[in-house]
Structure 1
Amino acid sequence: MHLKNLEKPALRGFGGTLLRASAIAISAACATTSTGFFTPAFAQTYSFSGVSVEGNERVDVETILRYAGIGAGVGISSGALNDAYQRIAGSGLFETVELVPSGNTLIIRVQEYPMVNVINFEGNKRLDDEKLAELVGSASRRVFSPSQAESDAAAITEAYRNAGRMAATVEPKIIRRSDNRVDLVFEVTEGEVAEIERLSFTGNRAFSDRRLRQVLETKQAGLLRRLIKSDTFIPERLDLDKQLLSDFYMSRGYIDVQVTDASGEVTRERDGTFVNFTVKEGQQYKLGNVSAVSEVEGVDAAEFQAALRARPGVIFSPAIIENNVARLESLALQKGLTFVAVEPRITRDAQGRVVDVQFTLVRGQKVFVERIDIEGNTTTLDQVVRRQFRTVEGDPLNPRELRQSAERIRALGYFADAQVESEPGSSPDQVVVNVDVEEQPTGSLSFGVSYGASQGAAITVGFQESNFLGRGQYLGISVSSGSDSINSGINFVEPAFLGRDLKFKFSANYNTSDYDNAFYATRRIGITPALDFPISQNGRLELRAGLSQAKIYDVDRGTADDLATPEDETSNGSSRILRAEERTGAPTLFSLGATYSYDTRITGLNPNGGVVLRFGTDIVGAGDFQYLKTEASALAETKIWNEEVTVRAIFEGGAVNMLNGNSRVTERFFGNGKIRGFDPNGIGPRDLGADNEDALGGNLYAVARFEADFPLGLPEEYGLGGGVFFDVGSVWSLDNVNGTGGAVDDGMNLRSAIGFSLLWDTPIGPLRMNFSKALVKEDYDKERSFDLTVQTQF
């Protein structure tokens, strides 16, 4: 990069050439003078009776003479004269400097650097002027500095480099104006994005390149490279990628793994890079003997041994060790054992490829937490950060708990960065815990469009704030309007109700529907407050109450509607069952319920999968209309074939048990979305005696879904994946089939479907295409062989 004058070919280095010219001028003057002060060109000392300064406007004479260090009548050597020149030129105040002897007087002739009039940027498209202005140190109405302009150009180039544009160049130029002013222009040539043309690995045997690419923060350029920013090459990100690879292997038992090198080779055109990681995997280890022993007098290790949750034979993972250490330390605190630490002592058997782990209870150092200081939270209240600590002032120090507290703070999502460190306190047995956070935006306003082959298009407007008023509360409001439905709701969550690990939830909703496969419409409105709290490490319990109204209306009465009476309805149009339910109106219902959930994915002990269980029941009713509604689900998933394929099994079921009266269509199950291959309202009990053969829903349902997701052999960055599935289940049972003449089929008739899916994570939202084939069905079921859904926010 060189500074240039738009009015000249160049400014010749802003002084380098002039330095040589001035030195020649000084030497020539000294060699040719006819006075007695100078005889040969290399005389020892010289003397001037006077020193004058010319050309200065803003810098006073005294300042220039102080830089020169030359006094009148004082002998000076030629070397000292050159030093004086260097000091004046090196001050950075002058564009040119000349020392011109004139008789007995030394003339110091200077030309000051101009003032910067304006600063402009040209050629920049990817980074706007406001962004670039933040990077430059040059400023309007200040003295122009060539070195500062060069530094600014380097800063802009670095910003483009971080954005993946390795070929970007920035050239600062000046435009001369009147009154010794200049316009400073940074001419930017952005160049092309230096995309990651290829991400490769050397030395990997257990996992394929495709699987390892999924671990990295850096991504390989794909089909959507123009819309994906993570495919640009940023050298600083390689260190993070090396750590991510090491953690990946360590969590899968490769305790000797080494990522020895991560190199990026830039193409000659500087528009692409080839990145290679060299991996030494080592051997995979499993857990061997796992035991707990005590070195603390009076503490029996038997109870701690029983608390261990690590089985021999499972693949070794640091998460297993960390989790069991936390369990034992928590048990020690429950037993009142302070300053007891747990040290995992690992013995490796390389021949058997097992790791024996001995959890040893030892006496820890007696150190207390003096105080917890929190900085950087301008919006978030201190209490939101403080409640992530299980330790308070005055408690014994537990370094492991501090690390876990830091992870909990980061997991909130309120902060771009959070650092938790300890430092010595006021005495040797005290420490101060410092928490330094950097806040980030936590709210969003979204406008979305969704499409489903069955539901049609819908427009969604939503607002979400996960740190409402800086209190750590969640507030969400959404409204979705489609061609056949309106769904709106508001949700509020207080995560630390009454200062405890107790969530207070409140939700309200208003929904209407008028689906194509139903000859009636429904409207639901309700509010539900709830409390949610942990009852085990992986389990939570929700207790809730509710107040709701549900109504069925616009039931199709057929051509004889004008003649029929409630007591003498014809079979034309919709089912008599739906007509009877329409007459019930919209009773106000009160409910009490509870849901237990168990999720092993919380602990992270199994990086390849987990189990999720849920069981919930509600008692609902008013007057002579009362029922018990129960639902349960179980999900288990894992990764196989070198973690390339995810297999998943899902079981769901539900029951409506009427205590008084008959169930209504607004309370029953339809299995929509539960079994693929069928339309909404396409399966379940149906009145075959009605003209439109309405789907009535059922009091019972049970579904089993088996599916697998897998890559298609394309680069991950294309966002394309495949899947296969097999669904089987049924919806059945009605209360009010009497008087229908046997026309209603509410039997437990199994349905099943098989199919495959194409998954595409597109720039406008996730797109899923299901191609299905019903294997077992009833004649009156309504099938759907293709289903497309896409959702986006902008």
Structure 2
Amino acid sequence: MNNLVKAGMTQKLFTLLFFIGVTFATQAQDKELPPNSTKYTIGEINVTGTTSYNEQTVIAFTNLKTGEQIFIPGTKISKVLNKLWDLGLFSDINIYVTKITGDVVDLEIEIQELPELAETKIRGLKRKKKKEELIKENKLTAGKRVTENLITTTQNRIANSYKEEGYLNAKVKINTVKVEDTLPNSNKVLMVVDVDKGEKVKIDDIQFNGNEALSDAKLSKQLKKTKEKKFWRFWKRSKFIAEEYKSDKASLIKKYKEKGYRDARITNDTIIKKDDNSIVLELDVEEGNRYYFGNISFLGNSVYSDEQLKQIVNVQKGDVYNGTLLEKQVADPTKPDAVDLTNLYQNNGYLFSTINPVETRVYNDTIDFEIRISENKIAYFDHVTVTGNDKTNDNVIYRELRVKPGQKYSKSNVVRTIRELGQLGFFDPEVLEPQFKNVDPNSGTLDMVFPVVEKGSSQIELQGGYGGGGFVGTLGLSFNNFSIRNIFNKEAYKPLPMGDGQQLSVRAQASSFYETYSLSFSEPWLGGKKPVRLSASLSHTVQYFYNAQQRDTDRNRRFLITGGSLGLAKRLRVPDDFFTLSGAISFQHFNLQNYNTGLFTFGDGYSNNLALTVGLSRDNTATNPVFPTSGSQFSVTAKLSPPYSLWNGTDYEALNQQQEDGTLTAAEVDQEKFKWLEYYKIKFNGTWYNRLVGKFVLKTSAEYGFLGAYNSDRGVPPFERFFLGGDGLGGFSLDGRETIALRGYPNQSLVPIDRSSLSQATQNDGATIYNKYSLELRHPITLKPAASIYMLAFAEGGASYDGFRDFNPFQLNRSAGIGLRIFMPAFGLLGIDFGYGFDPIPGTTGSNGWETHFIIGQQF
């Protein structure tokens, strides 16, 4: 050993000595020391190499101390070496014996510190945001130690991320450049990442081999997101995305299983490079035999009989084997309210039940199944809580919950609770998700938490513009989570008393020739114990006579309308609790003061409109009221005035005859007829929402309306009529008219034709019958609380008529187009539609053509 310790001895010998020691230490698993080890006392310890740490810090970390006795070779040195490597701070570590004097040994610890990342530069990408994303995703932050593994891993990760997006030729190269620093022993580098993503590789052709049962076309159809190039396929991309291709292959096999080919598989799939920018996909398919369902039995069920379970499964012996169908009949994860075995049990308390279909016998082309059920204990809710509501009062939320502490678990009630909370409009429906806490199968209890995120629910309407010959200004405030009980509580104004779920709206509109004011209030839970909605409204309008030619307003000639309504709506329990029965009484008083209009033949006088409105509706749409994705809405309403003709003793046939004879003027007859309006109005509306592919939702709707008279001699009044066409915005209305949207045509332009004169009817008269049908394909852009935005494409048709003699539900004014909707809590719904009318406006010839419609505050 002394022969090795000489001035000028080479590092190779020291290294050899060290590794001999390490080798003996690792091999001597059953022995503490190798046979030729010698005991020494540590003399001096020196640290050399490149490091930003001082010498004493490194020595302290090794736990080697001057005067300590060690064996060379021995395990002590190898442990020190491993400890330093585990720090991940060094690229090279060596320990040398530099001098031996008797039994005293001097040691040298040579370390090379890993460089520290000073900065990362991404080259080859234009977007700054994408560069920042790459740095963040790969954690290339300043101060990170740069290792060969980091460089290799980062290089591969970035290249693979682009390949997954279809850039199969993506190349990534990483270099490091030493950064000069004024600090001593600084070891910092600049990392330069060169990215050449190239062009996206497209699929030139997809070839299938071995398929007989399903054609190439049917198999290609299953590759939803993997499509070959076609000049006519502009709406489907043909770029190759590895993850999507993997998913599409699974869908292809799933299709085979739906057709009975249980053993179908893809034995080989090859990507053939045609050129730098295109590939050919070749898939070898092994179909196997077609199978059929045999006997299906049940094991472990005691709550439900075999017959009850068979009705849910709905698979008969001899049916073509469909593995996908059987899985869905057991548990369909795509539909929370599906009619399947899992929901059958979970909707009746059996949260801990497990259901597994098992193949018990395969013979010839038949498969027998046994559905094994473990029912376990009934689960009960222990605690039910809502978190996150800082504005809405707890009682407003808890009264909508369909789950209660101590209640038997029901999945359908949990799903329904999510819908009810979303329908309130106070919370972000896109993040409503129940959380299961403290689930204990042994005791059969669980806690349920409903986290909510509050969103703005009040709206402001502030508009100004020129219309009808002058400036029109509108100011409206709508508070959709108001608290009227705190209106005199100063501490509740933050900035207004909110949180009780009530609605309060105030609106004023004025121009040079009219003023209108309205106030409405709604309490959804009258008394706080039952879902009975109370609604009330008041309105007052003053219309001054306006000469459009002279653009002059005569305020001595005016038409005053004062009205109000009071209504109740109760949520029913039968046929189910999605139904609501409503009733409202409304009254309007019309007062004409030296005001001649097409509505009346008299300029001075009055008229009254007292009516009862009864409605039955059903709404089970889910979950977001701005963008429903499923469910339907139906409503039937009847608005009825009292049949005054039965008891007022007026002979209207005689009145009409006196007008024809000239005994009475038209004004006198109309004044008598219109003292109290007499009519009935029936309306129906049905809307369905169906999710198609991805986030696409199809909205289908149909609606009808009819206005009739009790007394044919009195006739249908020129009020409460239907005006079809345009954006559906009513604007300023005196006569209770209803404006029905039909895009692609001017507002209120689709009026009936007077068959006798073949001329367009007076627009103020409107129609007594209308029908409308609509298809609307929707896709969301964002559904965040700050702004919900979705685009749409529509096709619709409708028509209006003077009576049943002209009614033809198939003779429609048709249109189609596209649009955009933006819903912001502070301003309500805004939108724009571009519609093309395929048919002429009544009384004209040729297609109406393009119309642009702006939507403000309409229904969703």
Query: Using a 3 Å threshold, how does the CA distance of structure 1 residues 681 and 221 change in structure 2: closer, same or farther?
Result: farther
Match of 1:432 among 445, 470, 473: 445
SS at match of 2:724: coil
Note the C-alpha offset of 1:702.
3.0
Asked if the contact 1:246–1:258 (Cα under 8 Å) also holds between the matched residues in 2, the reply is: no
Partner of 1:655: 707
Number of corresponding residues: 684
Letter in 1 for 2:182: S
* Shift of residue 631, structure 1, vs aligned partner: 0.9
Cα separation, partners in 2 of 1:471 and 1:364, compared to 1, 3 Å: farther
Q: Does the 8 A contact of 2:594 with 2:604 survive in 1?
A: no
The alpha-carbon deviation at position 543 of structure 1 amounts to: 2.1
* Whole-angstrom distance in 2 between the partners of 1:48 and 1:620: 113
CA RMSD of aligned residues (A): 8.2
Q: Decide which of 802, 820, 825 is 1:732's aligned counterpart.
A: 802
Counterpart residue number, 2:490: none
Which residue of 1 is the match for residue 636 of structure 2?
A: 615
Q: Find the residue that maps to 2:88 and give its secondary structure.
A: coil
Partners of 2:271 and 2:591 lie apart in 1 by 67
1:752-793: CA deviation from partner (whole Å, max 9, x where unpaired): 346574658999999876554438x85379962444568899
Q: CA-to-partner distance for each residue in 1:386-438, whole Å, 9 max, x for gaps?
A: 8887554434456x55885798699883427555477326xx4x223255777
- Residue from 671, 684, 687 that aligns with 2:724: 671
- Secondary structure at the counterpart of residue 64 of structure 1: helix
Correspondence for 1:541: 580
1:188-207 residue pairs with structure 2 within 5 A?
188-189=193-194, 192=197, 197=202
Q: Is 1:577 the counterpart of 2:599 in the alignment? A: yes
Relative distance call for 1:508 and 1:30 in structure 2 (3 A) is same
Q: CA deviation at 1:125?
A: 1.9
Letter of the 1:533 counterpart: R
The reply on whether 1:682 has 2:721 as its aligned counterpart is no
- The answer to whether the Cα contact below 8 Å between 1:628 and 1:656 also exists between their aligned partners in 2 is yes
- SS of structure 1 residue aligned to 2:618: strand
**Partner of residue 61, structure 1:** 56
* Deviations 1:359-378 (CA, angstroms, capped at 9, x unpaired): 99x99655342624669858
Rounded Cα–Cα distance in structure 2 between residues aligned with 1:195 and 1:230: 10
Q: SS of the residue aligned with 1:653? A: strand
| Distance in 1 of aligned mates of 2:263 and 2:387 | 37
**Shift of residue 681 of structure 1?**
2.5
Report how far residue 24 of structure 1 moved.
3.5
1:238–1:650 Cα change, 3 Å: same
Q: Deviation digits for residues 302-330 of structure 1, max 9, x if unmatched?
A: 9x89x9999999x9774799538699889
Question: CA–CA distance in 2 between the matches of 1:295 and 1:54?
Answer: 75
What is the Cα deviation at residue 620 of structure 1? 7.2
Counterpart of 1:106 in structure 2 is: 106
In 2 relative to 1, CA 664–284 (structure 1 residues): closer, same or farther, beyond 3 Å?
Answer: farther
Q: Is this contact kept in 1: 2:93–2:109, CA < 8 A?
A: yes
Select which of 612, 615, 628 maps to 1:594: 615
CA distance 1:701–1:434, change in 2 (3 Å) = same
| Alpha-carbon distance in 1 for matches of 2:605, 2:229 | 61
**Identity over aligned pairs, percent:** 10
Distance 1:474 1:213 in 2: 50
Given candidates 632, 636, 642, the residue that maps to 2:684 is 632
Q: Does the 8 A contact of 1:296 with 1:363 survive in 2?
A: no
Measure the CA separation in 1 of the matches of 2:439 and 2:121.
47
**2:635 counterpart SS class:** strand
Residues 702 and 731 in structure 1, CA contact (< 8 A), matched pair in contact too: yes
Distance 1:628 1:620 in 2: 6
Residue-by-residue CA offset, 1:327-377 (whole Å, 9 max, x unaligned) = 9889999xxxx99999999999x99x99999999x9965534262466985
CA distance in 2, matches of 1:274, 1:651: 51
- Matched residue SS, 1:26: helix
CA offsets 1:729-753 (integer angstroms, 9 cap, x no match) = 43326xxxxxxxxxxxx98476934
Letter in 2 for 1:125: K
Task: Check the 8 A contact 1:758/1:769 in 2, yes or no.
Answer: yes
Question: 8 Å contact 1:195–1:221 — kept in the other structure?
Answer: no
Higher normalized contact order (CA 8 Å, seq sep 6+, divided by chain length): 1
Q: 1:699 to 1:623 in 2, by over 3 A?
A: same
TM-score (normalizing by structure 1): 0.55
Q: Is the 8 A contact 2:767 2:800 kept in 1?
A: no
Distance 1:255 1:705, change over 3 A: farther
Q: Aligned partners of 1:134 and 1:526: how far apart in 2?
A: 61
* Pairs within 5 Å for 1:391-790: 391-397=403-409, 413-415=429-431, 418=434, 420=436, 423-424=439-440, 428=442, 430-435=443-448, 502=531, 531=569, 533=571, 535-537=574-576, 539-543=578-582, 545=584, 576-577=598-599, 592-597=613-618, 613-619=634-640, 624-625=676-677, 628-634=680-686, 650=702, 652-655=704-707, 667-672=720-725, 679-684=746-751, 694-698=762-766, 700-703=768-771, 705=773, 727=797, 729-732=799-802, 748=806, 752-753=811-812, 757=816, 771-774=836-839, 779=843, 784-787=848-851
C-alpha distance in 2, partners of 1:702/1:308?
43
User: Matches of 1:194 and 1:480 in 2, distance apart?
Assistant: 58
C-alpha distance in 1 between matches for 2:770 and 2:81: 93
Q: CA deviation at 1:668?
A: 1.6
Q: Is 1:51 the equivalent of 2:44?
A: yes
DSSP 3-state at the match of 2:749:
coil
- Contact kept, 8 Å, 2:45 with 2:106, in 1: the verdict is yes
- SS of residue matched to 1:92: coil
In structure 2, the residue corresponding to 1:108 is in which secondary structure? strand
Match of 1:177 among 181, 200, 203: 181
> Any conservation in 1 of the 2:347–2:412 contact (CA below 8 Å)?
no
Q: 1:601 to 1:128 in 2, by over 3 A?
A: closer
Secondary structure of the residue aligned to 1:24 is: helix
2:811 alignment partner, SS class? strand
Quick one: which amino acid aligns to residue 178 of structure 1?
A: T
Task: Give SS of 1:576's match.
Answer: coil
CA deviations 1:595-622 (Å, max 9, x no partner) are 32377999xxxxx999864312345799
Report Cα offsets for 1:118-166 as digits up to 9, x if no partner: 65554562347489558638565xx846489659947984996699486
SS of alignment partner, residue 323 of structure 1:
coil
Q: Based on CA coordinates, which of the two structures has the bigger radius of gyration? A: 2
The 3 A distance-change label for structure 1 pair 708 and 327 is same
Shift of 1:652: 1.8
**8 Å contact 1:341–1:364 — kept in the other structure?**
yes
Deviations for 1:468-506, whole angstroms, at most 9, x for unmatched residues? 99989799999999x9x9999999999888888948597
TM value normalised by structure 2? 0.52
Q: Tell me the residue number matched to 2:493.
A: none
Q: What is the identity, as a one-letter code, of the residue corresponding to 2:579?
A: R
